[in-house]
């Protein structure tokens, strides 16, 4: 079963707009990671945020983490058609390296 | 540095057969994890290997097994295949599999069971 739930399940926007995806989880975590997947291919790691961090940036990506609400958000600014993909959040356990994935958000960026 | 590689990329089997999938981690990485991705269940953790030992295991039946070799390459085996085993199987590698390490995923092996 999945730990996380992602919202929305699907998002369609125009190029240049910002895209925000949310992730909620249920148990205590050590870290939360976001991955991108293009058309059923492998997962590409985007960003990792530790449980003691609240916000992290990487290029056009901004991730926030609220451990009190057990939620995270991924913001992609100035989106491009190439950002079209499925985005997954994954929580890392307090011990070990097992990742528990959310259900994913399918993002479509229209040119 | 070469990424994680998985072979074969595509596989078609029939019910009752068995299958072996292979994963070569990034050079220097010693932890390899396997995940199954299906439309219904999403991405689910199968198991993790480190230094040739299974260190962590998900909630899958005993038909799913794996191993790791001294060069950190890993194989997973599924015996007595069922239709529900049709999925994308992904492996991921990391340096030592510690909790805050980034895991790097391979392109996956797509298995279709007929």
Minimum-distance CB partner of B98 among A97, A102, A104: A97
d(Cα A85, Cα A102) in Å, to the nearest integer? 15
Å between A96 CA and nearest CA of chain B: 5
A52 touches chain B (CB under 8 A): no
Å between A76 CA and nearest CA of chain B: 20
Q: Among all residues of chain A, which has the CA nearest to that of B93?
A: A97
pLDDT at A39: 84
Residue B43 has pLDDT above 70, yes or no: yes
| A60-103 confidence digits (pLDDT tens) | 999 999 999 999 999 999 999 999 999 999 998 766 678 899 99
Given an 8 Å threshold on Cβ–Cβ distance, is B107 in contact with A42?
Answer: yes
Given an 8 Å threshold on Cβ–Cβ distance, is A41 in contact with B104?
Answer: no
Cβ atoms of A74 and A87 within 8 Å: the answer is: yes
Q: B91: closest CA among B17, B3, B2, B1? A: B3
Longest C-alpha distance within chain A, in Å? 43
| B8-37 confidence digits (pLDDT tens) | 999 999 999 999 999 999 999 999 999 999
């Amino acid at each position: 079963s999945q730990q996380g739930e992602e919202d929305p399940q699907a998002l369609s926007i125009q190029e240049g707009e910002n895209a925000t995806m949310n992730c909620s989880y249920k148990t205590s975590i050590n870290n939360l990671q976001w991955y991108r997947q293009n058309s059923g291919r492998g997962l590409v790691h985007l960003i990792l945020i530790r449980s003691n961090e609240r916000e992290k940036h990487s290029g056009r990506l901004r991730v926030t983490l609220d451990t009190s609400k057990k939620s995270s958000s991924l913001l992609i600014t100035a989106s491009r058609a190439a950002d079209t993909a499925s985005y997954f959040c994954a929580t890392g356990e307090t011990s070990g390296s097992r990742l528990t994935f959310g259900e994913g958000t399918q993002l479509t960026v229209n040119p | 540095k070469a990424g994680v590689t998985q072979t074969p990329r595509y596989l078609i089997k029939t019910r009752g057969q068995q299958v072996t999938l292979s994963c070569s981690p990034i050079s220097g990485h010693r932890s390899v994890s396997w995940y199954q991705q299906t439309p219904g269940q999403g991405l689910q953790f199968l198991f993790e290997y480190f230094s040739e030992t299974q260190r962590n295991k998900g909630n899958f039946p005993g038909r799913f097994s794996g191993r790791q070799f001294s060069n950190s390459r890993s194989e997973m085996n599924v015996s007595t295949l069922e239709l529900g085993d049709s999925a994308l199987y992904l492996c991921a590698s990391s340096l030592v599999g510690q909790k805050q390490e980034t895991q790097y995923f391979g392109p996956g092996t797509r298995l279709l069971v007929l």
